[in-house]
Structure 1
Amino acid sequence: MMKYEVVVTSIGDMATELMESTGDLIIFDTCPLDGLEEISIMHTTGEIKRPIQVGDRVTFGKAQYTITAIGDEALKTLEELGHCTFKFTGSNTVELPGQIELRGEGHPEISLNDIIRIEGN
């Protein structure tokens, strides 16, 4: 069951580099600060259709991951700004309140017009 779906509209010059060096993938639909777009994946405006929870699947293009932890602020900022930080460590806890932890194979390769989708049972 689809819970959230957006389309990648731009990829910041440093977004992939940040993901590969720190494991952070930052997404926004509307970027509130200049400079953040450089390290972010920008996407169309989306809406959370159903509650997102641990165990749900996140797809970036062809790569799929499982949510292992959700920070206290992550779903609020995802709803309001299309923003969260995905981490790819598979940890059961988050370091920061705006993070969503994911478990899966490596980091996704993201291209323009890829779909970012969150699905659950």
Structure 2
Amino acid sequence: MSTIYENKIQSIGEMAKEFFSEKMLILFGNEAPDGLKDYCFGIDVKPLNGDIKVGNKVFFNNQSYDITAVGNLVQKNLVELGHITMKFDGSESPELAGTLYLENKEVPDIDLGTKIEIK
């Protein structure tokens, strides 16, 4: 299983974990606008090593989640801005262009240094 994307949580906005109750989290590169930083998990902007597709897996440290749908702006936004929303509801059709949909499981516990990988 080859690694398509790898990053680590660099910062956690004051309100970022509030979205866990809605089974979602928001990633944004360290250049996030001031009005959004409080709601996001900050990451470095990094390139992709391939395409993100249904059937790939996202790992938070060693906890894995199947990708069930990929919005058509996920790859572009992730590479250019480090910005995507991850929704843990198992949706199979991407309703929002910048959202990566993952299997319907509890949102993982995320802290500074949490490793995110897409394989």
For normalisation by structure 2, the TM-score amounts to 0.92
Question: What's the counterpart of residue 6 of structure 2?
Answer: 5
What is the CA distance between 1:19 and its match in structure 2? 2.2
- 2:76 aligned with 1:84, yes or no? no
Instruction: Tell me, in whole angstroms, the C-alpha distance in 2 between the residues paired with 1:97 and 1:88.
Output: 15
Name stretches of at least 5 consecutive residues in structure 2 with no aligned partner: none
For structure 1, list consecutive stretches of 5 or more residues without a partner in the other structure.
Answer: none
What stretches of structure 1 move > 2 A for 4+ residues in a row?
none
Match of residue 41 from structure 2: 41
Q: What is the rounded CA distance, in whole Å, between the counterparts of 2:80 and 2:109 in structure 1? A: 26
Instruction: Give the strand-richer structure, 1 or 2.
Output: 1
Give the TM-score normalised by structure 1: 0.91
Sequence identity, in percent? 37
Cα distance in 2 for partners of 1:28, 1:36 equals: 9
| Contact 2:45 2:80 (8 Å CA) reproduced | no
- Deviation by residue 1:70-103 (Cα, 9 ceiling, x = unmatched): 0111111011011110000011012211001000
How many residues of Structure 1 are paired with residues of Structure 2 in the alignment? 118
Pairing 1:1-121 to 2, within 5 Å after superposition: 1-20=2-21, 22-119=22-119
**How far, CA to CA, are the matches of 2:108 and 2:32 in structure 1?**
25
Q: Alignment RMSD, CA only?
A: 1.3
Residues 33-62 of structure 1 deviation map (CA, whole Å, 9 limit, x = unaligned): 212111100012321011111110001123
Using the alignment, how far apart are the partners of 1:42 and 1:107 within structure 2? Answer: 17
Q: CA deviation at 1:104?
A: 4.8
Check conservation: 2:56, 2:66, Cα contact below 8 A: yes
